[in-house]
Amino acid sequence: AQRVTQPEKLLSVFKGAPVELKCNYSYSGSPELFWYVQYSRQRLQLLLRHISRESIKGFTADLNKGETSFHLKKPFAQEEDSAMYYCAATQGGSEKLVFGKGTKLTVNP
């Protein structure tokens, strides 16, 4: 079955430290991967998708097909990065997004 796994429910770092939020997927073929973010009291919004290869708010994510991973990274975390982060995937022309359970990132001052 198609599955997206985020192994860390909670992640806490200090301001200025590097941060990596892990995401693994189990899909055959070539899925499309996404990171969504939900800041406090705001709606879910797209942070980045792997096909665009953009860097948004200093975050990057590389698709590693060998390890079936799509980890989200930022070299220097900021307090405003504190939020819930969801990894998601689609495949094969399907519009259905499959989400991980999310990781709550807290960046401490």
Partner 1 sequence: NAGVMQNPRHLVRRRGQEARLRCSPMKGHSHVYWYRQLPEEGLKFMVYLQKENIIDESGMPKERFSAEFPKEGPSILRIQQVVRGDSAAYFCASSPTPGATQYFGPGTRLLVL
Under rule CB under 8 A, residue 94 binds partner 1: yes
Half-sphere exposure of 42 (CA within 13 A, CB side): 12
Distance separating alpha carbons of residues 46 and 12, to the nearest angstrom: 22
x/- track of binding to partner 1 for residues 39-68 (CB under 8 A): ----xxxx--x-------------------
CB of 57 to partner 1, least distance (A): 16
**Considering beta carbons, is residue 37 or 77 the nearer one to partner 1?**
37
Task: Name the residue nearer to partner 1 (CB basis): 67 or 95.
Answer: 95
Q: How far apart are CA 80 and CA 1, in angstroms?
A: 35
Residues that bind partner 1 (CB under 8 A): 4, 6, 36, 43-46, 49, 86, 88, 93-102
